[in-house]
């Protein structure tokens, strides 16, 4: 019997649309702040990982590519990837890079630097992206933030694609920074220990998406 489809089952399309928009106009990268804030707001006010379980477009995108299109080797995700030290270590690293991006944005806003029309892949490789920016009515720092944020979103998606191919389709969900943060928030709200990190192949993953983080 086929499972009834809901509107949120098609949210996977948001991922390719987001990157396509940012490819042609970098200012669309600001839309990504919705994906950055919404999971935290749901966890803070709702006390749940509903976003991870149901609304995460990236998780759905990896499921589509890895499970339905058979692009994943479907090997078990290594246990060390789901370990607390790796998940929290990656979270700290991720935010270190995020605040470094904010610092560069501040320098542009203060006039110390000019806008750099490039994105950084894997926080290291500068890739020219000048065709996506031709000036704007907004302040220069708005564009600089967009370049930096787009680079972070693209890098994290590429990492997710790599682990998708090597392991389970949603292996990214095991150490996703947003999943780790929402897990921590839910733990604080509930006052109890959350379930262990998912291996990327739990029942939730095979249905609606991993809720473990």
| Predicted local confidence at residue 2, as pLDDT | 61
Annotate 155-206 with DSSP letters as a single string.
HHHHHHHHHHHHS-TTTHHHH-HHHHHHHHHHHHHHTSPPPPPP-S-SHHHH
Low-confidence stretches of the chain (pLDDT < 70) are 1-2, 192-213
| Predicted local confidence at residue 192, as pLDDT | 56
In tens, the pLDDT along 182-213 reads 999 998 887 755 444 454 444 444 443 444 43
Q: Are 176 and 144 a contacting pair, CB within 8 Å?
A: no
- Name the residue ranges covered by the structural domains of the chain: 12-207
| Predicted local confidence at residue 3, as pLDDT | 73
3-state secondary structure of 67: helix
**What distance lies between CA 16 and its chain's CA centroid?**
13
Nearest to 63 by CA among 209, 211, 177: 209
| Predicted local confidence at residue 4, as pLDDT | 81
């Amino acid at each position: 019997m086929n499972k009834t489809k809901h509107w949120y089952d098609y949210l996977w399309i948001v991922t390719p649309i987001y990157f396509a928009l940012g490819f042609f106009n970098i200012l669309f990268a600001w839309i990504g702040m919705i994906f950055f804030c919404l999971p935290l707001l749901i966890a803070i006010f709702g006390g749940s990982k509903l976003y991870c379980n149901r609304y995460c477009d990236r998780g759905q995108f990896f499921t589509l590519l890895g499970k339905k299109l058979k692009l994943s080797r479907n090997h078990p995700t290594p246990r060390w990837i789901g370990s607390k030290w790796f998940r929290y270590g990656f979270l700290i690293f991720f935010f270190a890079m995020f605040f470094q991006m904010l610092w560069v944005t501040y320098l542009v806003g203060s006039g110390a630097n000019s806008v750099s029309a490039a994105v950084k892949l894997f926080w290291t490789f500068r890739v020219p992206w000048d065709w996506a920016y031709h000036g704007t009515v907004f302040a220069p720092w708005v564009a600089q933030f967009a370049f930096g944020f787009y680079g972070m979103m693209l890098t994290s998606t590429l990492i997710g694609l790599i682990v998708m191919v090597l392991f389970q389709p949603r292996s990214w969900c095991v150490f996703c920074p947003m999943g780790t943060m929402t897990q921590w928030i839910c733990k604080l709200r509930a006052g109890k220990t959350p379930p262990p990190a998912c291996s990327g192949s739990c029942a939730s993953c095979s249905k609606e998406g991993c809720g473990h983080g």
